[in-house]
Amino acid sequence: MATGDNFYQDVDLTWGDYRAKILDGGKSLSLTLDKTSGSGFRSKREYLFGRIDMELKLVSGDSAGTVTAYYLSSEGPYHDEIDFEFLGNSSGEPYIVHTNVYTQGKGNREQQFYLWFDPTKKFHTYSIVWNPKRIIFLVDNIPIREYNNEEAIGVPFPSKQPMRVYSSLWDADQWATRGGLVKTNWSNAPFTAYYRNFNANACVSSLGSSTNCGSKMSKSIPTNNGWQTQGLDANGRRFLRWVQKYYMIYNYCADLKRFPNGRPRECRRSRFL
């Protein structure tokens, strides 16, 4: 279990050479992108269900063309994945939060949102709750998306493959900002994102089996040892409706042109469209 105390103990810097740095004796981390390369890290441990929290401060200023990705993923062509991606912006324009869920190598379950704050000014907490019944994406403990397990009607759900936590900062100016119309302005490089308080309140997987579930949460998040069955209470549903009404900018379930033969099965069961 990660306790938010030391990135040296919790993650491996996987690419980007000196552009990925652990700072403050292990209490914080930075990723940098320049014209030569981006950078990234991943958790040392694999998890099979859990609650993952991370505080991020995103690239400030003109970050058009850049993507800060923060996600869970297994390995292989039939991998599962639960994504936060933060799509950069021209100065004065808001970030887009791109979310997606992959099962058995297939995604195409995108929802996108604006944030109700500037994510570059200070740290905010981005969380993924993943249990056998559902996946919940949270921002500062406010739910922005719920993806339910609908295996009973034939919809795959990520429930068998352990996943690591990954993050990367990279150049995606072919699509990231206004569909690729706005390119990365390298005169503003290097671009840097900052991380702290990584917490994995999760079942640590060993040889594909769940062997250990942690119970300690970050001090910045209300303690919730019930993530194994966590859903949305009435207040959570109100927040979810608020976010989806005022800040959602794309929902694959509402993209009828994309699915001329009918929406995906899980969309027909969802209460929040």
Cβ-Cβ contacts under 8 Å for 24 (sequence gap 6 or more): none
* Tally of CB atoms within 10 A around 261: 4
Amino acid 258 reads: R
Active-site residues, by number, are 81, 85
Beta strands per DSSP E along 58-214? 66-73, 81-87, 96-102, 111-114, 124-131, 134-139, 142-148, 164-171, 191-206, 209-213
**How far is it, in rounded angstroms, from Cα 136 to Cα 156?**
16
Reduced to 3 states (helix: H, G, I; strand: E, B; else coil), residue 187 is helix
Is 26 exposed, middle or buried (CB count within 10 Å of its CB: 0-12, 13-18, 19+)?
Answer: middle
Which of 132, 122, 136 lies closest to 53 in space, CA to CA?
136
What tokens appear for 85 in the block? Answer: 């991606």
Is 190 exposed, middle or buried (CB count within 10 Å of its CB: 0-12, 13-18, 19+)?
Answer: middle
For residue 162, cis peptide bond before it (omega within 30 degrees of 0): no
Reduced to 3 states (helix: H, G, I; strand: E, B; else coil), residue 73 is strand
The separation between CA 64 and the C-alpha centre of its own chain, rounded to angstroms, equals 19
